[in-house]
Structure 1
Amino acid sequence: MIISFPFSSRPVLQFQTSMQQVISVWVRDPRIQKNDFWHAYMDYEICLHTDSVFFTKKISRVRRRFSEFVWLRQRLQANSMLMTQLPQLPPKNPFFSLNNAQQISERMAGLQKFLEQILQSPLLLSDSCLHLFLQSQLSVVKMEACAAGRTRYSVAQAVQCCGIRRFLSQEALQKDLSMSADSDSDSSDCKDPECQFKENLAINKASADHMGTAQEQSVCCSSDSP
């Protein structure tokens, strides 16, 4: 489901860190996702564009829901050991409606303000949970495991497995979304690193099999030659 907002042309925030490095971030494109017939939730696209040395990937886009923002704030607060005062998330509204454009726009603005303030702290920029949240499509459980080193892939590998698409203008974005409204709900272009690794293994195996067949044919050809 696609919802249009009158402020969709809101300019992208750009700010500079103390090292004169630019970080651009914005929260946009709210979409209703259905778990089943009775349960649904809303997620948002997070776009990041930066030349900061804190990020190995300079352009990314992922989708996150409100509960994942709550998880991120809790993890950052725990990892920083209260050395910094974290900004607040927009309050959780028990009467929040997935069909109320004003409530959705207010929540998006609050989520973007939260990220803007988070990304101005060098201490928080060094937290692996923040990078997994912003630049991977891992679930909360897998982000926890990856940050703790309990996965076969590293934080850097999880980030690199997330695909990049070009950034669209708001007008182009709306056109793109209208054409893909009936497509799969996950439009992030990101793959779970475990799935990516399995695909890589399959590709490598197929390549090895092909090389083995080619070698066998080469041997046969050489044995038949005078």
Structure 2
Amino acid sequence: MQQAVSVWVRDPRIQKADFWHAYMDYEICLHTDSVHFTKKISSVRRRYSEFVWLRQMLQANSQLMVQLPKLPPKNPFFSLNNAQQIGERMKGLQLFLLRIVQNPLLLSDSCLHLFLQSQLSVAKMQACAAGKTHYSVEQAVNSCGLRRFHSEEDLQKDVNTSCDSDSDSLECKDPESLSWKPSSA
């Protein structure tokens, strides 16, 4: 039976780090019935530099056994105000992810799952994938979910753990702040 993995890159947003520095991030939506994924529906925001990190990690972890697709090229003249450049980059990032999730070898990579289904930073994803956190990859993935799929009661309980004030935004809990006990394996 063929298992479907659909991934979209959409909703570019300018994020301001401070008065002088801004960057663009993109929403990555994933819908799947694949047994490879803990969550069947997820949405996270990632920036271009995080895609670069993912590609480097996948390349290192696959030990050259897989020819990875290319990312859209980094453009030194990329403008956060140029809709055509933003659209081309989004298409390139989506094509990159679509090719990645079609490869069974890459679907077993923890970095891919953390990238697609957690809100962890690059440093925390790397530590988690290396087993250097008190939470597992599955726990990191399960600690972040879509608000719109939760009940009103859950929303009231989790109102203080929200990442964003947008009503369709993600509900995220930092896995480090949750009290998980290490599994006894």
- Give the TM-score range, shorter chain: 0.7 to 0.9
Please state if 1:153 is matched with 2:132. Answer: no
Number of aligned residue pairs: 165
Correspondence for 2:176 among 160, 178, 194: 194
Please state if 1:85 is matched with 2:67. Answer: yes
Q: Report the equivalent of 1:41.
A: 23
1:209-220 alignment, distance < 5 Å: none
- Distance, in Å, in 1 between the alignment partners of 2:30 and 2:147 is 12
Structure 2: 5+ residue runs without aligned partners?
150-163, 181-185
1:20-62 per-position Cα deviation (integer Å, ceiling 9, x unaligned): 0011110000000010111010000000000000001000000
- Distance, in Å, in 2 between the alignment partners of 1:191 and 1:67 is 23
1:136-185 per-position Cα deviation (integer Å, ceiling 9, x unaligned): 00000000000000001000000000122448xxxxxxxxxxxxxx957x
**Secondary structure in structure 2 of the residue aligned to 1:88:** coil
1:29-178 alignment, distance < 5 Å: 29-166=11-148
- Distance, in Å, in 2 between the alignment partners of 1:183 and 1:163 is 15
**Secondary structure in structure 1 of the residue aligned to 2:95:** helix
Calculate the aligned-residue CA RMSD, in Å: 1.8
- Distance, in Å, in 2 between the alignment partners of 1:189 and 1:67 is 23
**Secondary structure in structure 1 of the residue aligned to 2:51:** helix
Q: Which is helix-richer, 1 or 2?
A: 1
CA drift of 1:95 comes to 0.2
TM-score by length of 2: 0.85
CA drift of 1:75 comes to 0.1
Identity of aligned residues (%): 81
**Secondary structure in structure 2 of the residue aligned to 1:62:** strand
1:53-101 per-position Cα deviation (integer Å, ceiling 9, x unaligned): 0001000000000000000000000000000100000000000000000
CA drift of 1:190 comes to 2.1
TM-score by length of 1: 0.70
Q: Report the equivalent of 1:16.
A: none
Q: Is the 1:63–1:188 contact (alpha carbons within 8 Å) kept by the matching residues of 2?
A: no
